[in-house]
Homo-oligomer: A and B are copies of this chain.
Amino acid sequence: MAKKINGTQRRTEALSRDQIVEAAIDLLDESGEAGLTFQTLSKRLATGPGAIYWHVANKSDLLTAACDAIVARTANAALAGSTPKAKVRELALGVFDAIDAHPWVGSALTRSPGQMAMVRILERIGQQVRALGVRDDAQWSVTSALLSYILGVGGQNAANAQLAHEQGLDRSNFLGEISAMWSKLDPDEYPFARGIAKQFPAHDDRTDFLTGIDLILGGIDLM
């Protein structure tokens, strides 16, 4: 009769894989990868760990499914752009923003090669690369370059967000710390890092990300 009001109550409805994945996403969003545990998860779902294993093969399977659920939402969104290039920018920004909202996706994406999440992104980018008129035998390497770049930025942003979260820093303090560290480097060995330290805290991740996309898109024109 009782549903799941207080902490020690058992659930009465049946579990489902989707429910488990949703709960996992909530946990990951709240407290990062460290927050997802079979203990925390079964507590939130008001069951035991064994029940979860009935629906899910293991933790890696669960993480992959959670990642795919997030990516599917943005990869399936309609594209408003009028040109293939505009659509590539749109797709890329979609992934960027998804990782910004769910930093754990950044690392989970990399860790599941060949999984659906990556194929979804690959497919949509590949279609635009085709539409750009890239030669058949270059479509793979061009698409792969775009994908690698997107995953690279995503992975770094995810790591930054996680580190800042662990250290209890907000973004500007985090950037400030790195900038301070770079300012102290040996001027003879690290002229570039030192020179850039001052402007570093003011940079915009999203703008820089798009600059990189545009560099690659520009390079395609020269092929």
CB of A192 within 8 A of CB of B126, answer: yes
A39 at the interface (CB under 8 A from B): no
Shortest C-beta distance, A209 to chain B (Å), equals 8
Q: A152-B151, A160-B113 in contact; A142/B211 too (CB < 8 A)?
A: yes
- Interface-side segment among A24-32, A41-49, A78-86, A175-183: A175-183
Report chain B residues within 8 Å CB of A196: 126, 139-140, 143
CB of B110 within 8 A of CB of A141, answer: no
**Docked complex: A25-77 residues within 8 A CB-CB of B:** none
Report chain B residues within 8 Å CB of A212: 141, 144-145, 148-149, 216
CB of A193 within 8 A of CB of B140, answer: no
A215 at the interface (CB under 8 A from B): yes
**Docked complex: A92-143 residues within 8 A CB-CB of B:** 107, 110-114, 119, 122-123, 126-127, 129-130, 137-143
List the number of copies, as a whole number: 2
CB of A193 within 8 A of CB of B119, answer: yes
From A137, A159, A199, A220, name the one whose CB has the most chain B CB atoms within 10 angstroms.
A159
A208 (CB) vs chain B CBs: closest residue = B141
Shortest C-beta distance, A38 to chain B (Å), equals 19
In whole angstroms, how far apart are the Cα atoms of A149 and B193 in the complex?
19
Report chain B residues within 8 Å CB of A189: 123
Among all A-B residue pairs, the 8 with the closest Cβ atoms? A152-B152, A215-B219, A145-B212, A126-B192, A218-B219, A148-B152, A219-B219, A141-B211
A and B contact pairs by CB, cutoff 8 A, 6 listed: A110-B159, A138-B211, A140-B203, A148-B149, A148-B152, A151-B152
* A→B interface (CB under 8 Å): 107, 110-114, 119, 122-123, 126-127, 129-130, 137-145, 147-153, 155-156, 159-160, 163, 177-178, 181-182, 185, 189-193, 196, 199-200, 203, 207-208, 211-212, 214-223
